Structure 1
Amino acid sequence: MNTIRKNLFPVLAALIWGTAFVAQSVGAGYVPPFAFNTVRSLIAAAALLLAAFLFSKVRKEPLLPPRTQRKDLLLGGFCCGAILTVASGLQQAGLSQTSAGKAGFITALYIVLVPVFGIFLKKRAPFTVWIAVLIAAVGLYFLCVKERFAIEKSDLLILLCAVAFACHILTIDHFTAKVDGVRLSCLQFFVVAILSGLFTAFFEQPVWSNFQYCIGPLLYAGIFSSGIAYTLQIIAQRGANPTVVSLLLSLESVFSVLAGALLLGDRLTGRELFGCLLMLAAVVFAQLAPLDRHSKKV
């Protein structure tokens, strides 16, 4: 069961994120990024609060966590939420100045940054996982980058976004063993909603009547992309190697391309197909690593 949780849940999260691209693109046409993130995060937090309430009834336990967990829950929710707010904001800012393909490639470089940062946290990934990460990085390049690749100033925002997402994964890795995953995810999105709301108030001027045109995208992004997918990530990371989880989450790029081909009629090029195959090969290769134990101490 643990193996299924650690491997299937991140893939399901990646599938949801990959297919959510259309919904988020539609929403971006009507609502500024932080305003969109504010509403979707409120929807996610409300859905997760309801889920936590129902789980507490089924388990016949109080909704609030034990006193011994509350400090870790509050700290974890704030840290994860703050980092996720920064990552999302940097990504949106960079997307306005660079191509989506290049942004997707640079963002997904968190699969390389997670094991690198893990070294400084006195954790290490197995050698086979390092090889898988390198294969996946090459696959991402073929999958996402369609034109000549040149680093521009705007790409630094996306690179900082990748750093933030890597920090988010490692922060979840730190707190997920201490607190309940659904509660942590719920609090995380309350923090994202509050911080994004502040950014909206100071830096954006949304046309509130436009929200009626993207109710569907907001609900999908809020309930599925935020509420369900990020919670699956948190639950999957309990006791799992964060590098392997990040590798599985990066399949979002593959699912995004496949969803475009199946749902929107986009044509899959040979370059993209080769990238997909490399990504899938990397995931299979990563399974050669001992997945049933946590990152080893150096």
Structure 2
Amino acid sequence: MKVNHIRQNVFPVLAALIWGTAFVAQSVAADHVEPFTFTAARSAVAFVFLLVLCLVFRALRQRDFHGEAQPRPGSRRDLAVSGACCGVALTVATNLQQMGLETTTSGKAGFITALYIVIVPIAGIFLHKKAPRAIWLSVALAVAGLYLLCVQESFSITEGDWYVLLCSFCFAGHILLIDHFTQKVDGVALSCVQFLVMAVLSAVLMLVMETPNWAGLLDCIGPVLYVGIFSSGVGYTLQILAQKDSDPTVVSLLLSLESVFATIAGALILGDRMSGKEYLGCVLMLAAVVLAQLPDFSGKRGAPVREP
């Protein structure tokens, strides 16, 4: 039980830390290659990394079972279906976000994307997975904190903002799909298949809608490898492992700390200065996360609250 508690709380925070610090690498890569090219490259790197990881885990299991028949979490069909569904959702979400960033600011995009922390519990109501009532206070605090942290200018709606809003719905769908499929298949294998799907779909879109710049891709190979291995391969796998038997609303709150880590990384690595408004946003975000972890707020630990 204690191991499950650590997995459900530490893993999503680590994922948020990786995603937040990867913002610098993504910004560098955006100066060299177009969105679909970058997404295809990072997804291919993530797939190869996770495939190697799956093979290593398989070899270790065979050693532990001395070549005997061993329990397999889920069939190949379950894995294919879950990987396809999660891969499509993640592909659409990632590329909508990248399209939106062409005409909106990164701060607004970060705030609108993180609205999945509101969409997830609302969608959960229709899926008979209610979040505890008290956790809505955490959601409200997190939204307020995200606004202070991300939005530095007057808030107006642009075409890019609509793309990013659609992206937040897709990310919420991705979280809910993972909540459903992690009960059936191995988490690392699911992450591997979803990135194979993402790499194939993004490569097709790249060839249809872009002119691949191979020289530019080589110029940013470092950021591509970092984002592919850590942000994609490690980060999303941590999310999948964290969501097994967890409340998706609490996990989404922890994942939204990405905005806090991105702001801190910008200050430490790029020398960006944080304003008082941003500091207050960080405090509200952290308060929301702490409240969500209190027993009276999160309800029964280790499982989503379901309607009868």
Shifted more, 167-176 versus 153-162: the winner is: 153-162
Contact 1:128 1:285 in 2 (8 A): no
Offset of 1:128 from its aligned partner?
2.3
Matches within 5 A, 1:64-103: 66=72, 68-103=74-109
Offset of 1:210 from its aligned partner?
1.3
Identity of aligned residues (%): 58
Name the counterpart of 1:47.
Answer: 49
Name the counterpart of 1:143.
Answer: 149
Name the counterpart of 2:24.
Answer: 22
1:226 maps to 2:232:
yes
Deviations 1:89-135 (A, max 9, x none): 10011110111111110000000000000011011011222110110
Task: Tell me the distance in 2 between the aligned counterparts of 1:38 and 1:17.
Answer: 17
Task: Tell me the distance in 1 between the aligned counterparts of 2:10 and 2:213.
Answer: 40
Name the counterpart of 1:245.
Answer: 251
What TM-score does the superposition give when structure 2 sets the normalisation length?
0.94
1:294 maps to 2:303:
yes
Partner of residue 33 from structure 1, selected from 32, 35, 41: 35
Deviations 1:241-267 (A, max 9, x none): 000000000000000000111112111
Instruction: Find the residue that maps to 2:184 and give its secondary structure.
Output: coil
Q: Number of matched residues?
A: 298
Could you tell me which runs of 5 or more consecutive residues in structure 1 were left unpaired when the two chains were aligned. Answer: none
Could you tell me which runs of 5 or more consecutive residues in structure 2 were left unpaired when the two chains were aligned. Answer: none
Offset of 1:203 from its aligned partner?
0.4
Instruction: Find the residue that maps to 1:146 and give its secondary structure.
Output: coil
Q: Would the alpha carbon gap of residues 140 and 149 (structure 1) be closer, same or farther in structure 2, given more than 3 Å must change?
A: same
Instruction: Find the residue that maps to 1:84 and give its secondary structure.
Output: helix
Contact 2:73 2:185 in 1 (8 A): no
Contact 2:73 2:184 in 1 (8 A): no
Contact 1:3 1:291 in 2 (8 A): no
Q: Would the alpha carbon gap of residues 111 and 68 (structure 1) be closer, same or farther in structure 2, given more than 3 Å must change?
A: closer
Matches within 5 A, 1:85-124: 85-124=91-130
What TM-score does the superposition give when structure 1 sets the normalisation length?
0.97
Q: Partner letter of residue 245 of structure 1?
A: V
Q: Partner letter of residue 120 of structure 1?
A: F
Q: Partner letter of residue 79 of structure 2?
A: L
Q: CA RMSD in A?
A: 1.6
Q: Would the alpha carbon gap of residues 202 and 7 (structure 1) be closer, same or farther in structure 2, given more than 3 Å must change?
A: same
Task: Tell me the distance in 1 between the aligned counterparts of 2:239 and 2:74.
Answer: 24
Contact 1:49 1:186 in 2 (8 A): yes
Task: Tell me the distance in 1 between the aligned counterparts of 2:270 and 2:74.
Answer: 49
Deviations 1:18-70 (A, max 9, x none): 000010111111111111111111110111011111111112168x9949522
Task: Tell me the distance in 2 between the aligned counterparts of 1:241 and 1:25.
Answer: 32
Task: Tell me the distance in 2 between the aligned counterparts of 1:183 and 1:3.
Answer: 22
Name the counterpart of 1:11.
Answer: 13
Deviations 1:138-176 (A, max 9, x none): 000000000111222331111000000000000000000
Partner of residue 206 from structure 1, selected from 212, 221, 226: 212
Contact 1:241 1:291 in 2 (8 A): no
Task: Tell me the distance in 1 between the aligned counterparts of 2:73 and 2:263.
Answer: 45
Runs of 4 or more, structure 1, over 4 Å off, are 64-68
Task: Tell me the distance in 1 between the aligned counterparts of 2:11 and 2:92.
Answer: 24
Contact 2:9 2:251 in 1 (8 A): yes
